[in-house]
């Protein structure tokens, strides 16, 4: 049996990983970051216009027209910045936030006023209503079976119990645009990202990371029409930011809240467990919060919880997910479901071995592992969606903004500059 890599080899491999991230960041900084800014906004405008012209879903059609105007305006602003050679972090951050407002928040409000929403918004709001009246957001197997076949899919809540909290405003206050579940999704996303940015160095890399988590079309579109993935992503990014500052308890709470919403947070929770920080303090929040969120649902109606959390997730419910993007895993599953599952399991084992043999040295490395692992899983899952790519995309770029372990130690050890209180 070959020997495990020694410390020197692992250190060299980590240095190569960090060097690759640094090289990508250097390329990204061309023209003070404005060159990539212009490409991002211009290409996003093209994507939005194509969506407006070709989309068959009313939600996507509405988003496309509004977002086209927002991205085009942002691209024109960047052209002006290039002409005047003004590329400071503050102005780029302000443009990012303004563009997020015009390409995600404005379409969200317009669609909420019109009553347009994707099915995940409806399922979350129904879950909130059930949570209010029955104490559990889930319907039991027999209750779902009694529904017409066409209504069974929306009767499932294929998320963790915490997601139903976003449905409570509509259940308690009635049908208004501001009780739409997406408004809550956007508020939590904004708060989590604001807290996360405060943990990162003030640099162009941080601006790029913020752009990918907000104005990248896959994120802006998702928030405007559905939205449930964005608070999960933002809380995971916040957890990685806290981990970069060695704030184990805070990182655990952030990723634990994400895990109480959706299973997509659990890979991040597991990877971060291998970071060199106080694992006990981290694990209390990271795994305790999702488990506590599940307990009431299982106590109130165990059959309903199992039907939604277990059977539906494993594809054994009375209805099946409509997620069917033609990624490799889905295409392989059409020919051989067993082969698709075997390939996914093999990939999971390979990533687990990688994690054990080369655990991340810092949050930057953890984010890179999350990006690679989730990208692999999304491509190989038999049932998946194109929109899920927002997770690996955000983690990959977030990794470039996170400080290395050495940089984080230096930053923590540097005393703050005293404020000037007089002449």
User: Residue ranges of the alpha helices (H) in 31-57?
Assistant: 34-54
Residue 172: alpha-carbon gap to chain centroid:
28
Backbone angles phi, psi at 378, to 5 degrees: -65, -40
CA distance 14 to 187: 36
Residue-level pLDDT at 293: 95
CA distance 263 to 240: 17
For residue 291 the two structure tokens come to 């488990």
Cβ burial, residue 345 (10 Å; 0-12/13-18/19+): exposed
The phi-psi region of residue 246 (left if phi > 0; otherwise alpha if psi is between -120 and 50; otherwise beta) is left
Residue-level pLDDT at 419: 40
pLDDT digits (tens), the chain, 423 positions: 444 455 565 566 555 555 665 666 566 766 678 889 999 999 999 999 999 999 999 999 999 999 999 999 999 999 999 888 777 888 999 999 999 999 999 999 999 999 999 989 999 999 999 999 999 999 998 889 998 888 888 888 889 999 999 999 999 999 999 999 999 999 999 999 999 999 998 888 999 999 999 999 999 999 999 889 999 999 999 999 999 999 999 999 999 999 999 999 999 999 999 999 999 999 999 999 999 999 999 999 999 999 998 888 777 778 877 666 677 777 777 777 777 778 888 888 888 888 888 999 999 999 999 999 999 888 887 777 778 889 999 999 999 999 876 565 555 554 444 444 343
- Give the total residue count for the chain: 423
Cβ burial, residue 294 (10 Å; 0-12/13-18/19+): middle
Residue-level pLDDT at 27: 67
CA distance 185 to 189: 6
CB neighbour list of residue 61: distance below 8 Å, 6 or more residues apart = 51, 52, 55
Residue-level pLDDT at 85: 79
CA distance 380 to 33: 34
How many degrees, rounded to 5, is the angle at CA 84 between CA 77 and CA 217?
A: 25
Task: Of 198, 201, 254, give the one whose Cα is nearest residue 408.
Answer: 201
For residue 234 the two structure tokens come to 């933002």
Helix (H) or strand (E) segment spanning residue 29: none
Read out DSSP for 152-184? HHHH---S-GGGGGGGHHHHHH-S-GGGSHHHH
**What pTM value is reported for the model?**
0.88
Read out DSSP for 402-417? SPPHHHHHHHHHSPPP
CA distance 220 to 145: 36
For residue 56 the two structure tokens come to 């068959």
Which one-letter DSSP state was computed for residue 418? P
| Inter-CA distances, 119 with 137, 151, 158, Å | 16, 11, 12
Q: Are 181 and 376 in contact (CB under 8 A)?
A: no
Read out DSSP for 210-277? HHHHHTSHHHHHHHHHT-THHHHHHHHHHHHHHHHTT-HHHHHHHHHHHHTT-GGGHHHHHHHTTSSS
């Amino acid at each position: 049996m070959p020997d495990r890599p020694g410390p020197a080899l692992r250190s060299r491999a980590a240095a190569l990983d960090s060097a690759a991230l640094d090289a990508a960041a250097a390329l990204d900084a061309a023209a003070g970051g404005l060159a990539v800014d212009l490409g991002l906004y211009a290409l996003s405008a093209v994507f939005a216009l194509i969506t407006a012209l070709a989309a068959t879903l009313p939600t996507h059609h509405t988003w496309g027209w509004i977002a086209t105007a927002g991205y085009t305006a942002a691209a024109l602003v960047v052209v002006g910045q290039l002409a005047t050679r003004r590329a400071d972090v503050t102005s780029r951050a302000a443009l990012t936030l303004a563009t997020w407002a015009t390409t995600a928040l404005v379409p969200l409000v317009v669609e909420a006023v019109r009553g347009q929403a994707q099915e995940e918004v409806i399922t979350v709001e129904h879950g909130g209503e059930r949570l209010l009246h029955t104490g559990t957001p889930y319907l039991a197997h027999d209750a779902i079976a009694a529904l017409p076949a066409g209504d069974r899919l929306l009767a499932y809540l294929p998320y963790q119990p915490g997601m139903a909290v976003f449905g409570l405003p509509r259940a308690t206050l009635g049908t208004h645009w501001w009780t739409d579940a997406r408004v809550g999704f956007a508020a939590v996303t904004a708060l989590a990202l604001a807290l996360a940015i405060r943990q990162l160095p003030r640099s162009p890399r941080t601006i790029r990371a913020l752009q990918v988590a907000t104005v990248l079309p896959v994120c802006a579109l998702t928030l405007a029409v559905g939205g449930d993935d964005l608070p999960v992503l933002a809380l995971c990014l916040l957890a990685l930011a806290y981990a970069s500052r060695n704030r184990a308890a805070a990182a655990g709470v952030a990723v634990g809240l994400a895990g109480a919403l959706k299973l997509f947070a659990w890979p991040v929770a597991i990877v971060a467990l291998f970071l060199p920080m106080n694992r006990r303090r981290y694990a209390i929040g990271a795994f305790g919060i999702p488990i506590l969120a599940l307990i009431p649902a299982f106590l109130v109606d165990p059959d309903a919880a199992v039907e939604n959390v277990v059977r539906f997730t494993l594809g054994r419910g009375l209805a099946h997910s409509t997620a069917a993007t033609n990624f490799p895993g889905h295409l392989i599953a059409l020919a051989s479901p067993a082969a698709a599952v075997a390939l996914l399991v093999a990939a999971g084992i390979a990533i687990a071995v990688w994690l054990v043999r080369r655990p991340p040295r810092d949050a930057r490395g953890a984010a890179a592992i999350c990006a690679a692992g989730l990208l692999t899983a999304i491509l190989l899952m038999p049932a998946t969606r194109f929109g899920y790519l927002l997770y690996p995309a955000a983690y990959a770029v977030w990794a470039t903004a996170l400080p290395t372990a050495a940089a984080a130690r230096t930053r923590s050890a540097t005393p703050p500059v005293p404020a000037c209180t007089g002449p």
